[in-house]
Amino acid sequence: MKFIKILLAIFVPLIALFGLFLLFSTMNDYRPEPVETVFTSVSPGTVALDSELSLVIWNIGYGGLDSSMDFFYDGGKNVRPVKAAVIENLNGILETLGQFGDFDYILLQEVDQRSKRSYRINEYDLIAGAFQKYHSSFGMNYNVWFVPVPLKSPMGKVKSGLQTLSSQTPKKVTRYSFPGNYAWPVSLYMLDRCFLVNYFPVENGKELLVINTHNSAYDDGSLRLGQMEYLRQFLLDEYSRGNYVVVGGDWNQSPSGLEPLFNPERFDQENLTYIEPSYPAASWTWAYDSSVPTNRRVKEPYAPEASPVTVIDQFLISPNIKMMEVKGLALGFQYSDHQPVTLKITLN
């Protein structure tokens, strides 16, 4: 009887604390609207039909997933390196982004705003400050007051999302929530996925939509399927209006028909998911560089000849856009677990 009382004295308070933790997390859960206006302008820039447009996409991994890192979600143990390494990564990211100072659009994913995992550095402001002549917009997709995993070193507070930089001022910027999420209570601590749309008027009266996306990972595939179907309808609706559409980002899926030109023995087959053929419809074009991997598996530090790698960062363009060139940048995953991809297009 005494033993039972001791157990109760230990576990009842722990259960009560856990219940309070779940209650507080539920009350503070980030619940974005399905559609949110981020920015509007009465004097936006106009896109010329005869101009060549340049874009770059890069998931910067919050400056914490450099080549020396493993990550607990991928089977590793860590969340972040030491602060000096995060600062060094961010400096490297800024230096790399400096190569694109004449690009029209820069689409970034996993950009933190004062998160514990990136030592409360405001990465969004840091990047926007380096591109002061660009318009910068933000789409929140991760906003949790305290992420309790991994238990030995919790991720803690996370505020992160998509950042789009444009050389011209957009007419408007809108955040669209992807449908679906994990079941409660896991959903309290996971991302609220979205895509961020910058709308630009075109001189022929139509609009150019530059879309920044970061689709789900670590799910059984059902979330990604729902997201892709939602995005399909959005893209086809906009194209039916005569608008020009380009989507870029981290899809967490490989393009259909991908035949990697890098060492096939390193091609990551684990949880391999291909985007369906002819998505979202026939005559749309997937733009990717099959010779340069864009993502590595972060189960252990990067080993150039051994680490599994794949292509999951790419562009999708509507039939009224002509692809001129697409290139992946081989950085040896020095600053992030992803590598940038550039694209040049013209509007038909």
Q: Is the pLDDT of residue 120 over 90?
A: yes
Compute the average pLDDT of residues 14-22. Answer: 77
Cα-to-chain-centroid distance, residue 55: 15
Q: How confident is the model over 66-89, as pLDDT tens digits?
A: 999 999 989 899 999 999 999 999
- pLDDT value at 304 more than 90: yes
Least confident range from 15-24, 50-59, 124-133, 333-342: namely 15-24
Q: Please report which helix (H) or strand (E) contains residue 319, including its range.
A: none
* Confidence band for 18, pLDDT divided at 50, 70 and 90: confident
The dihedral over CA atoms of 7, 13, 19, 25, expressed in degrees to the nearest 10, equals: -130
Q: Which CATH superfamily is domain 33-347 in?
A: Endonuclease/exonuclease/phosphatase (3.60.10.10)
Distance CA 315, CA 325 (A): 11
- Which residue did the predictor score with more confidence, 182 or 143? 143
Q: Hey, what amino acid is at 268?
A: D
Is 14 a residue whose pLDDT tops 80?
Answer: no
- Each domain of the chain, given as residue ranges in start order, spans 1-30, 33-347
pLDDT at 192 over 90: yes
Mean pLDDT, rounded, for 330-336: 98
Q: pLDDT class for 28, splitting at 50, 70, 90? A: confident
Q: Degrees (nearest 5) of the Cα angle 174, 180, 186?
A: 115
Please give the full DSSP string across 251-291, using - where no structure is assigned: -SSBPTT----S-GGGB--TT--BPPTT-SSTT-EEE--TT
pLDDT the model gives residue 194: 98
Q: How confident is the model at residue 3 (pLDDT cuts 50, 70, 90)?
A: low
Residue 12's pLDDT band (cuts 50, 70, 90):
low
What does the pLDDT look like over 135-146, one tens digit per residue? 999 999 999 999
pTM of the predicted structure, to 2 decimals: 0.96
The rounded mean pLDDT for the chain is 94
Answer yes or no: is pLDDT of 196 > 70.
yes
pLDDT at 7: 59
Instruction: Examine the pLDDT at 221 and tell me if it is beyond 80.
Output: no
Q: What is the mean pLDDT of residues 219-223?
A: 83
**% of the chain at pLDDT higher than 90:** 84
